[in-house]
Amino acid sequence: MIISYLGKEFVKISQGDLVIAVNPISKDSKYSGKVARFGAAIALSTTDHPDYNGIETVTYGDNAPVAITGAGEYEVKDIFIRGNMTRTTIGGKEFVTTMYSFGVENISIAFLGPLSVMPKVEELEGVESPDILFIAFGDGLLDAATAYKLAVKLEPGIIIPIDCDEKSLKAFLKEAGEERVEPVEKLTLKKKDLDGKEGDVVVLSHE
């Protein structure tokens, strides 16, 4: 599996010929300079907001991805995806948002999206103990300390911070006791690489 971070909450997950895009940035977003230049088989959007709903940008030629845009249970290309609904506030406006959990090659992934408040316990059902957890914080979202508290509660093997400024990231790493973590360009791993991982933080640099 290869994981790349393309800015904001835009993540590309590749496994062989399978490409999954999570929260691709729309052309209508102010971050549209980071729109995709690849096609995806599956595209997940947590929130109907231009920063996170650019499904059209991960369409290659006539091949549009299977789009998952809300809560429910889905099976696409042998990938089981679960979406749990919650709510968030972005720019002073309330949005329905979806936290996703899914597995690729026996590696479980949880993607929480742009949360502004701690989700309720029942909203986190099925999200617990992922191998990899993506969590966003800062700039109107969860603060770094709350985000780390939530991350630890979910007991992931690896935590990947996204959509955070340098100050928030520094505060998060301090909470985690991993202030010396150096960003990596992309994360390449197999299931066996997760052995012994307990809340290890991996920082991905933007492509």
pLDDT tens for residues 135-187? 999 999 999 999 999 999 999 999 999 999 999 999 999 999 998 899 999 99
**Nearby residues of 43 by Cβ (< 8 Å), 6 or more positions away:** 20, 21, 22, 24, 55, 58, 65, 66, 67, 68
**pLDDT value, residue 207:** 59
Task: Please give the model's pTM, rounded to 2 decimal places.
Answer: 0.96
Burial bucket for residue 27 (CB in 10 Å: 0-12, 13-18, 19+): exposed
Q: Strand (E) positions, 47-106? A: 66-68, 72-76, 79-90, 93-104
CATH level 3 topology of 2-201: Metallo-beta-lactamase; Chain A (3.60.15)
Domain assignments of the chain as residue spans, ordered by start: 2-201
pLDDT of residue 60: 84
- The pLDDT score that the predictor gives to residue 206 is 79
